[in-house]
Chain A
Amino acid sequence: MTTAQARAEEVARASYGKLLAILAAGSSDIARAEDALADAFRTALEIWPERGIPDNPEAWLITTSRNRLKDGYRSAAHRTTTRIEEDIDMPAATATPSEDIRDPRLKLMFVCAHPAIGDTVRAPLMLQTVLGLEAEQIAPAFLLPQATLAQRLVRAKRKIKEARIPFVLPDQADMPDRLEAVLEAIYGTFARDWNGEVAASGEEDMRREALFLADLLVEMLPDEPEVLGLAAILSFTDARNGARVDSHGHFQPLETQDVRLWDRMRTVRARALLVRAQKIGRIGRFQLEAAIQAVHADRMMTGITNWRAIAQLYEGLLQIAPTVGAAVGRAAAVGRAAGPDAGLRALEQIDPEAVAGFQPYWATRAHLLKAGDLPEADDAFDKAISLTTDPVLRQYLERQRV
């Protein structure tokens, strides 16, 4: 690979989303901006080896793309003789972040997670526009045929253009909801219920990309506690990745994982993010979820899990973001802190209709009944197993049932 090629790829990796956001901001036309940018990268690969790499490659690419957008079909040679404009609205590298010159990728993320965009396409759209991934890289991880995903992406971009979804940061009043949608899309990509061997290879890739997006968001919004909270959750979870399945290929739930297999550095980093978030003093669901992870992570130092603290955090979570998952999580923690009877009572408070086919409810119930030496445990295990499609998790429950 030539230096010019390597440099072009480096710029592509680091700046793709930034350049695309700048180019698409005026017209909301992402597809056209993508074409222009792809063309500029192609031209760069032709021109840079001959004439040398420009001092400011990003500015060069922006100008070349803009010319492409302006003149449509002129020849490549003609286009690239245009002088680099001086007044490019690139964010200055040395400037301090403020409303106007903040990383344009942030606006792009808000566009991708706009309420008018279907929530299943938000994350793929972000991966494509912010990170420059191709549909063929994204599709397998979401178990979608490439043509189907490509079509959804095209439709979403058309929607953005036709509805003129603006490339702006939401105002103060809309910020919390809009930000939550962005965080949700990233969290969903990271914590998806991946299954199937084919997905396994794409799984790791997409987890990495989700971590990258979360870190990018921390850079862009360093004072948003929920952004820090999400990055902390992802870091805590990622730190335990190597301990989920033991050397026999058996699934290990969080509380029986070997803490020596947890990544200490990632845990330290996660905790630092959470502390930063809490100092700002605006609690939210992502911070509470991160705090639960932090209590689990304490076992690395103390050797024990403070279930009482976890139950309290779930209670807080239920107050600001009530979900069936959190209610079941709370019951499991109460069961650990105050005994299986208390845990089962907590489970009984949940609407039975909401949990009829909810695997975590039945697995939790089975474990609590077993801990209380109650005969109904077997039935609950059977129900939980019947709802479990993941083979590793299924084997785990079958071992527990005995």
Chain B
Amino acid sequence: MRYTLFLYNEESSWADMSEADVQEQLGIFGAYIQDLKDAGVCVDTDWLQPSMAGTVITLKDGQRRVQDGPYADTKEQLGGYFVIDVPDLDAALAWAEKCPTARYGLIEVRPSAMPTE
């Protein structure tokens, strides 16, 4: 079963970091990603630019509207995600708990709705 872990955290915590600190955090994430890969559960992951770099587009009112900036202006922003393939929610939570973000941010664990062939 596929689950996506959405990582939310206060963007300021990354913005305020020194270069050395950023490197260290990247190392910590790298080790986590390696553990996911070694366990054969890692499907996909990405690390996102700050929400200010986001662009929102919609056609829902019949016209193309493009807007600058984050979709929702909340304190905690989506900063990255992991797609993992594990048997059940318990296992997904076990991995989410080990994600470095859990220590200072929030992780939403959502099961995939995609039908399996």
With contact pairs A145-B17, A394-B39 given, residues A140 and B24 touching in the complex (Cβ less than 8 Å) = yes
The reply to whether the CB of A387 lies closer than 8 angstroms to some CB of chain B is: yes
Instruction: Point out the residues of chain A lying under 8 angstroms from B44, CB to CB.
Output: none
| B98 CB–A CB distance under 8 Å | yes
In the complex, are the beta carbons of B38 and A391 less than 8 A apart?
A: yes
Could you tell me if A387 and B90 are in contact, using CB atoms closer than 8 angstroms?
yes
In the bound complex, residues from chain A placing their C-beta under 8 Å from that of B100 are 143, 196
Interface residues on B, range: 20 to 34
Contact of B27 among A136, A198, A359, A389 (CB under 8 A): A198
B87 touches A144 (CB 8 A): no
**Per a CB cutoff under 8 Å, which of A143, A195, A198, A356 touches B90?**
A356
Bound form: Cα–Cα A140–B39 in Å: 24
Contact indicator per residue, chain A 124-164, by CB within 8 Å of chain B (1) or not (0): 00000000000010011011111110000000000000000
Sort chain A's interface into a size bin: 20 to 34
Contact of A148 among B13, B38, B93 (CB under 8 A): B13
Q: Is A71 an interface residue (CB 8 A)?
A: no
- A145 and B21: CB pair below 8 A? yes
> Are B94 and A391 interface neighbours, CB within 8 A?
no
Q: Which residues 18-60 of B have a CB within 8 angstroms of A?
A: 18, 21, 24-25, 27-28, 30-32, 34-35, 38-39
Check B71 for interface membership: any CB of A closer than 8 A.
no
Tell me whether A146 and B17 are in contact (CB under 8 A). yes
How many residue-residue contacts, CB under 8 A, span A and B? 80
| Chain A CB within 8 A of B61 CB | no
Q: CB within 8 A of A357: which of B16, B17, B38, B93? A: B93
User: Bound complex: CA of A146 vs CA of B25, how far in Å?
Assistant: 9
Q: Judge whether A197 is part of the interface by a CB distance below 8 angstroms.
A: yes
Contact with A along B74-113 (1 / 0, CB 8 A): 0000000000001110110111011010011000000000
Partner-A contacts on B (CB < 8 A): 13-14, 16-18, 21, 24-25, 27-28, 30-32, 34-35, 38-39, 86-88, 90-91, 93-95, 97-98, 100, 103-104
- Please list 8 pairs of residues, one from A and one from B, whose beta carbons are closer than 8 Å in the complex, sorted by A's number: A148-B13, A196-B35, A197-B27, A357-B93, A386-B86, A386-B88, A386-B94, A389-B94
Which positions in A face B, CB cutoff 8 Å? 136, 139-140, 142-148, 195-199, 356-357, 359, 382-383, 386-391, 394
